[in-house]
Chain A
Amino acid sequence: MKLALTIDSRPETIEILSPAPACRFQLGDAPPRDANVETPESGVYSVLVDGRSYDAFVEDAPAGLVVTIEGHRFEIEVHDPRRWSRKAAGAGSDAVQLILSPMPGKVIRVLAAPGDEVVPGQGIVVVEAMKMQNELKSNRTGRVLSVQAKEGATVTAGELLATIGVAENADPGEKTAP
């Protein structure tokens, strides 16, 4: 099975030629390598490769996985090269700013309503966790298309709170809130 990865923004591919524990894998065009892999705890991978011992700690994150080895931290996304580019292009459209919650927390204030004209730096939603308030701002001159956030609601990291369209013409193709 071949997987495409993004490791700290660098594209890479990995192919698992035989499964753990007697694992054989190929990274990019490098020669295949053998590794002995055990999982002593959930999310912990003990890897023996070329006589060296590594503990890799794998954590889910809003934007993929975070792998920590010997204090080095890698942000890794795993995707199927046949599909991801098409979808990503659609989601990342510049026409609409998606206001996402950057952390798990609680919506304590909604500062804008659908249809409001906004300017760059204007606060849209305030999320609080652990006594820290985070004001999420518009990055453009535009109009609020939709507000999903509700005051008092608990949100997860990456949850959609509001969308903002460009100023002059709200994209006809975009969904507009009622």
Chain B
Amino acid sequence: MPHPCGAAAWKWPNSRFGLRSVDKPEAYPTGCYNSICMFRKVLIANRGEIAVRVIRTLREMGIGSVAVFSDPDRTSLHVRMADEAAHIGPGPSAESYLRIDRILDAARRHGADAIHPGYGFLSENADFAAACEAARLVFIGPSAASIRAMGSKTAARRTAIAAGAPVIPGTDHAVTLEALYHFAATHGFPVLLKAVAGGGGKGMRRVDRESDLESALRNAASEAERAFRSPEIYVERLIERSRHIEIQILGDRHGNMIHLGERECSIQRRHQKVIEECPSPLIARYPEMRHEMGQAAIRTARAAGYYNAGTVEFLVDSDRRFYFLEMNTRLQVEHPVTELVTGLDLVRLQVEIATGAPLPFAQEQIEWRGAAIECRVYAEDPFNDFLPYPGKITRLTRPLGPGIRLDGCVYDGWTVPMEYDPLLAKLAVWADTRDHATARMIRALREYDVGGIHTNLAFFRQILEDAEFRAANLHTGFIDEFFQRRQPPEPPPDLVAVAALAAALHTTARKPAAATGATQTTSPWRESGRDGLLR
């Protein structure tokens, strides 16, 4: 039965909510978005900044939101912001955010029509998507079959090859240690170990020599097991100095599919993106690449029968040849830069597509305006090997003013839990050109202060002021090279004097009790310094 919104074959046989719509077509007014067709309530099967991000759009759409939370997340912002909240277990993800049964039970109890999975956790778990459908809940994302075809990185390689997209030499299946030795012997070093169920850089290891293979495989498998409940690892040849450029695609359930252009995410640490931009400076120079990569992405996604929002990731080598890397069958962390440049709300589009609505525009209606940059603010110490640094936030000043967008889950007094990703917030800026956006980001970073924990805010400023970044000579090894060539910045003498003064006043102002309680760690220098002061 045709749906009043114009779609030819709109129906949701498994959805309680879809059945209602199909049963009473005469009940529809014109247009379906604000009528019976739209979800009344959506559960967000996630936490942190992405849960907050989804809640914001749901609220704009007049849809109720249900948050889920583990013990350490009781006071997290997504729980406080949502209309309703359900407790789903203790801190470890395996006992809460990865528990399909508890999440579906929460959705039932709260009467949700649909589930938004966010990114990470269960977002690329085909069993979860299938379980949602079986429970008559709409999964806001692609079908379980598409996730299976693309969610496993090795299956995705096979799909991409079938769709005619170029791929990097690698194995199309999980490897044993012997197979790993064999691959390395055939293709040489460096190689890259990757989790078959991977994402977010978890379970990924660069290996440069044979003697490191065994421990790298062990650590990667162990990390993958903890992150994805699957220890399977496969291997690819590592392409040095490549760019990471990805295409955002969007498809509806009626066979329409378009791309929303690219994002360049070459600035990475530990294979995880830290700075993303749209447009890619490379594609800004060679605009025909956007069309070529966009079409390759659409072909690959179509081969998997894909619908909803998704991202096809490519590596681009120094000769501008691109290779399929993987497909993320979900909303991407860095989606805000696409939103800023295209003016679209991807979460709103995801929700509309999930109701069965057709895409509201065609490819030629998509425009890209200006330049956007995003910095991922992590609780970590970039000057100490990017090690994570959870703890209590004692002070918070956020950047404001023209062209700033801040997606985050942080508030003054919140304790950043050690159980989850260190992502605190995504600071994005928009301006008419890349140069202006860079200047705006530096200005915003200067306004941003997070106290009590370590963050990478000061590090971003050094990257953005780097001549190579300004010249857009980007590649995935950028940060390693940056640390090698970096001359510690020579600060103006006045700044040194003020820093020394602040440190001296801070130390002398500390009362004895505060001095021992203020920090849990000691060094011989600090102890002796305090001893000296207190005598």
Q: Which residues of A contact B (CB under 8 A)?
A: 1, 3, 5-8, 12, 14, 16, 20, 23, 25, 27, 33, 35, 37, 41-45, 47, 49-50, 52, 54-80, 82-84, 87-88, 90-91, 102-106, 123, 129-135, 154, 156-159
Q: Which residues of A contact B410 (CB under 8 A)?
A: none
How far is B518's CA from A62's CA once the two chains are assembled, in angstroms?
Answer: 11
Q: Name which of A8, A16, A61 has the most chain B CB atoms within 10 A of its CB.
A: A61
Q: Are A14 and B504 in contact (CB under 8 A)?
A: yes
Structural contact, B502 and A60, CB atoms closer than 8 A: no
Query: Does the CB pair B389–A42 fall under 8 Å?
Result: no
Beta-carbon contact of A157 and B389 below 8 Å: yes
In the assembled complex, B1 has its CB within 8 A of some CB on chain A: no
Are A76 and B452 in touch, CB under 8 angstroms?
no
Q: Is B317 an interface residue (CB 8 A)?
A: no
Binding site for A on B (CB under 8 A): 202, 215, 219, 222-223, 226-227, 270, 379-381, 383-385, 387-391, 394-395, 418-422, 442, 445-446, 449, 451-452, 454, 457-458, 461, 488-489, 491, 494-508, 518-529, 531-533
- Asked whether, in the complex, the Cβ of A72 is within 8 Å of the Cβ of B227, the reply is no
Chain B positions within 8 Å of A62 at CB level: 521, 523
Residues from chain B with Cβ under 8 Å of A131 in the complex: 202, 223, 226-227, 419-421
A169 to chain B, nearest CB (A): 25
Give bound CA distance, A7 to B495, whole Å.
12
| A to B CB contacts below 8 Å, 14 in the list | A16-B508, A25-B504, A42-B451, A47-B498, A47-B502, A54-B494, A54-B495, A56-B498, A58-B503, A60-B518, A78-B526, A80-B531, A102-B384, A131-B419
Q: Which of B489, B504, B521 has the most CB of A within 10 A?
A: B504
Asked whether, in the complex, the Cβ of A130 is within 8 Å of the Cβ of B507, the reply is no
Contact B505 A37 (CB under 8 A): yes
Contact (Cβ within 8 A) A91 B524: yes
A104–B392 CA distance with the chains assembled, in angstroms:
12
Q: Which residues of A contact B457 (CB under 8 A)?
A: 68, 71
Residues of A within 8 A of B222 (CB): 133
* Chain B residues within an 8 Å CB radius of A59: 451-452, 454
Q: How far in angstroms is the closest Cβ of chain A from B495?
A: 5
CA distance A90 to B395 in the complex (A): 37
Contact A3 B504, beta carbon cutoff 8 Å:
yes
B496 surroundings in chain A (CB, below 8 A): 7, 12, 27, 74
CB distance from A104 to the nearest CB of B (A): 6
The answer, among A25, A66, A87, for a CB contact under 8 Å with B528, is A87
Given contacts A42-B394, A102-B387, contact A12 B500 (CB under 8 A): yes
A47 near B501 with CB under 8 A, answer: yes
Verify A20–B524 contact, CB threshold 8 A.
no
Shortest distance from the beta carbon of B315 to any chain A beta carbon, whole Å: 24
Whether B421 contacts A130 by the Cβ 8 Å rule is yes
Query: Do most interface residues of chain B lie in helix, strand or loop, or is the interface mixed?
Result: helix
A48–B418 CA distance with the chains assembled, in angstroms: 38
Bound CA–CA A161/B381 (angstroms):
20
Task: Across the interface, name the chain B residue whose C-beta is closest to A109.
Answer: B222
Known: A56-B502, A130-B379. A79 touches B525 (CB 8 A): yes
Beyond A88-B525, A102-B387, A131-B226, whether A57 also contacts B451 by CB under 8 A is: yes
Residues in A with CB closer than 8 Å to B508 are: 1, 3, 16
Which among A1, A73, A84, A156 is the interface contact of B458 at CB below 8 angstroms? A73
CA distance A41 to B452 in the complex (A): 12
**B388 near A74 (CB under 8 angstroms)?**
no
Write the nearest CB–CB distance from A73 to chain B, whole angstroms: 4
Contact partners of B270 in chain A: CB under 8 A: 132
Contact of B446 among A5, A70, A73, A157 (CB under 8 A): A70
Least CB distance, A118 to chain B, in whole angstroms: 14
A42 to B110, CA, bound (A): 42
- Closest CB of chain A to B381's CB: distance in Å? 8
Determine whether the beta carbon of B521 is less than 8 Å from that of A43.
no
**A41, A49, A63, A71: residue with the most chain B Cβ atoms closer than 10 Å:** A71
Instruction: Chain B residues near A20: list those with CB within 8 A.
Output: 505
Question: How near does chain B come to A111, taking the closest CB pair, in angstroms?
Answer: 11
Q: Taking CB as reference atom, which chain A residue is nearest B505? A: A20
A56-B499, A104-B390, A130-B379 known; A16+B529 contact, CB < 8 A: no
Min CB gap A45→B, angstroms: 4
Task: Please report the C-alpha to C-alpha distance between residue A167 and residue B446 in the assembled complex, in whole angstroms.
Answer: 49
**Complex contacts, B390 vs chain A, CB 8 Å:** 104-105, 129-130
CA distance A76 to B497 in the complex (A): 12
Inter-chain contacts of A35 with B (CB < 8 A): 498, 501
Q: When A35-B501, A76-B500, A129-B390 are in contact, do A69 and B226 touch as well, CB less than 8 Å?
A: no
* Contact present for B506 and A43 (CB under 8 Å): yes
Question: When A80-B532, A102-B384, A104-B390 are in contact, do A45 and B524 touch as well, CB less than 8 Å?
Answer: no
Q: Which residue of chain A has the shortest Cβ distance to B506 in the bound complex?
A: A58
For B202, list chain A residues within 8 Å (CB).
Answer: 131
Contact B502 A16 (CB under 8 A): no
Asked if A79 contacts B506 (CB within 8 A), the reply is no
Interface centre among B449, B451, B457, B503 (most CB of A within 10 A): B503
| B506 and A16 form a contact (CB under 8 A) | no
Inter-chain contact A64/B495, CB cutoff 8 Å = no
Give the distance in Å from the alpha carbon of A90 to the alpha carbon of B507 in the complex: 24
Smallest Cβ-Cβ distance to B220: which chain A residue: A133
